[in-house]
Structure 1
Amino acid sequence: MPVLRVGYVREHFSSPLLQFAEADAGRTFTLVECPSGTGQLISRLSTDVIDIAIALTDPLISGIANGSTAYKLVGSFVSTPLNWAVTTGMKSQYNTISDLKGTTIGISRNGSGSQTMAYVMALQQGWPTDELKFKINNDIRGLLDSVNDGSTSAFMWEWFTTKPFIDAGEGRFIGSVPTPWPSWLIAAHPERAAPADVSGFLNGLTTYVTAFDSEEARATKNVPFIVEKFGYPKEDIEAWLKTVNYPQNCAEIPNKVILDTIEVLEHAGVLKQPENGFKVDFFVNLNVAKLT
């Protein structure tokens, strides 16, 4: 059995995956960190660096809708929305989201969650989405530098991942935009990752997700684990745990998640549906995942 290469973003959301990886010890899969986020994960699926990606729902779906053949959806990872913080520079002139109209927004990469959520923000604000301007800054370090040197007005990144930088005086929160969909899905290359191997990975991941999501773990194990791995303040971890849930089965994908995400992304101008619309199974490897 080949060892699967699993791409992920090293954030608190990945805690059950890290616990699974420690127990597996490289026997069936290895982790490949992708600090720039989902845009980098999709790129690495395309260039044979990884076989599986645990990534954000919206860029994964828009990527397939816009023609990518490097992956299909195979499962679910987080079943609650992601809260995207809108961050500006310490001395910038921007104080609310409405102040950002017509400015240049920082993103990590084209096709990233930071870009698709900027379109969703524009949709909520009533701004023309075809007038949005972006500057690519690779990762959160580059994004923070850009809002402080004035080359961008703001950027969007997950709230609790950004908060330590805000607490350190490297930026200011001026708002937040939760995703209108569950936040994380799992994708795999349709040829490099054999269905049986992917199913084995998903079954194992489900075991650790279920344990992490339990009331007992939330009350005892989760906080010290995240403190050890990520160094976040205890009160931030406790606040995040109140907002997050994981699926009961990582190999299942609700039809509604795909359909609702397509609808919002089409309104935001991120994708265009064909004349007869998309069929849900176009996005999914049904040899692995079960649509519910």
Structure 2
Amino acid sequence: MVLRIGYVREHFCSPLLQFEAEDKGSTFTLVECPSGTGQLISRLTNDEIDIAIALTDPLIAGIAKGSEAYKLVGSYVTSPLRWAVITGQKPSAYNQISDLQGSTIGISRNGSGSQTMAYVMALQQRWPTSELKFQVNNDIRGLINSVNDGTTSAFMWEWFTTKPFADAGECRFIGQVPTPWPSWLIAAHPTRGKPAAVRTFLNNLSHHVRAFASTEARAGPSVRFVMDTFGYPETDVKEWLDAVEYPEDCATIPWNVITDTLGVLQQAGVVAPPEGAVKHDLFVNLDVVKLV
């Protein structure tokens, strides 16, 4: 079967794009989801994709809230995600994170990483998470427009993805919040993709991830690939590559990633504490993934 892989076209997906160029549609096709993890989860739910490469926190939060549209099948990026806190281009009352308390925060979709990280930011700032206010603005362009027309105070998005907009003067960075968990996991519908096909995809993806993240590739070929594919300046690409970490085996997940992330999400008020012990098979597809 040809798997439908949902992804966000960002620099993180570079190994996936290299894999696609080699595969040429024989075992999978890519389905771009520019609105982020909220859109990826929606498309899993609506049978528009079979596998999603998405942010750790919304995936785990969705299962904790009762979603049966997917289970976790693997890891993709093991380093934290650097979220920029972004406001409008013109001088305003919003010049640092503490200025945002009580204001309306822009998010891409309900349940997205941009919303989850707003809760984490509030937790760090000791704001009551119950008082957070949000406005859905769909994608990066809608979010930038919203902070510039004043309907929202700020939004959060991955640092290097939005830096070109800040460099062009379309918005301003006023802070950053790194995730307290590894940034990307892989999820699949529990029945649509056969376990053997999903395992084969993950094994082949692991090969391309290791090649992209090798010391030799980071010293040149991976820098050039990201520059050519996404148009980022060399200095930004090298800074990102110096910090990003990928797994040796995409078909593994450390169990503490799930439990530790749940703990932070519970503190932030994103999910309710579980009744009893957290069950492995609730969160992961044990026919595919190896817990470590």
Report the TM range for the smaller structure's normalisation. Answer: over 0.9
Within a 5 Å distance, the mapping from 1:182-201 to structure 2 comes to 182-201=182-201
Which amino acid letter does the alignment assign opposite residue 71 of structure 1? Y
Which residue of 1 is the match for residue 33 of structure 2?
34
**1:82-135 Cα shifts (integer Å, max 9, x gaps):** 000000001232000000000000000000000000000000000000110000
Which residue of 1 is the match for residue 47 of structure 2?
48
How many Å separate the matches in 1 of 2:135 and 2:46?
Answer: 24
**1:25 pairs with 2:28:** no
**1:139-180 Cα shifts (integer Å, max 9, x gaps):** 010000000000000000000001000000000000000000
Which amino acid letter does the alignment assign opposite residue 205 of structure 1? L
**1:57-99 Cα shifts (integer Å, max 9, x gaps):** 0000000000110000000000000000000001232000000
Which residue of 2 is the match for residue 148 of structure 1?
148
Q: CA RMSD in A?
A: 0.6
**1:172-197 Cα shifts (integer Å, max 9, x gaps):** 00000000000000000011111000
- Offset of residue 282 of structure 1: 1.6
Alpha carbons 1:258, 1:280 under 8 Å: kept: no
Alpha carbons 1:79, 1:183 under 8 Å: kept: yes
How many Å separate the matches in 2 of 1:124 and 1:45?
Answer: 31
Question: SS of 1:209's equivalent?
Answer: helix
How many Å separate the matches in 1 of 2:275 and 2:169?
Answer: 49
- Offset of residue 228 of structure 1: 1.1
How many Å separate the matches in 2 of 1:277 and 1:156?
Answer: 32
How many Å separate the matches in 1 of 2:173 and 2:279?
Answer: 39
Alpha carbons 1:259, 1:280 under 8 Å: kept: no
Which residue of 2 is the match for residue 175 of structure 1?
175
Alpha carbons 1:87, 1:173 under 8 Å: kept: yes
Question: SS of 2:243's equivalent?
Answer: coil
How many Å separate the matches in 1 of 2:275 and 2:79?
Answer: 31
Which residue of 1 is the match for residue 210 of structure 2?
210
Within a 5 Å distance, the mapping from 1:1-292 to structure 2 comes to 2-91=1-90, 92-292=92-292
Question: SS of 1:135's equivalent?
Answer: strand
Structure 2 runs not aligned, ≥5 long: none
- Offset of residue 216 of structure 1: 0.3
Q: Which segment is superposed worse, 171-180 or 273-282?
A: 273-282
Which amino acid letter does the alignment assign opposite residue 186 of structure 2? I
What's the TM-score, normalizing by structure 2? 0.99
How many Å separate the matches in 2 of 1:32 and 1:276?
Answer: 37
How many Å separate the matches in 2 of 1:151 and 1:51?
Answer: 36
How many Å separate the matches in 1 of 2:194 and 2:24?
Answer: 20
Aligned residues: 291
Question: SS of 1:242's equivalent?
Answer: helix
How many Å separate the matches in 1 of 2:209 and 2:69?
Answer: 26
- Offset of residue 277 of structure 1: 3.7
Which amino acid letter does the alignment assign opposite residue 83 of structure 1? R
- Offset of residue 33 of structure 1: 0.3
- Offset of residue 220 of structure 1: 1.8
Which amino acid letter does the alignment assign opposite residue 151 of structure 2? S
How many Å separate the matches in 2 of 1:140 and 1:274?
Answer: 34
How many Å separate the matches in 2 of 1:251 and 1:234?
Answer: 31
How many Å separate the matches in 1 of 2:209 and 2:129?
Answer: 37
How many Å separate the matches in 2 of 1:82 and 1:11?
Answer: 12
Which amino acid letter does the alignment assign opposite residue 106 of structure 1? G
- Offset of residue 273 of structure 1: 2.1
**1:32-54 Cα shifts (integer Å, max 9, x gaps):** 00000000000000001100000
How many Å separate the matches in 1 of 2:272 and 2:70?
Answer: 19
- Offset of residue 279 of structure 1: 2.2
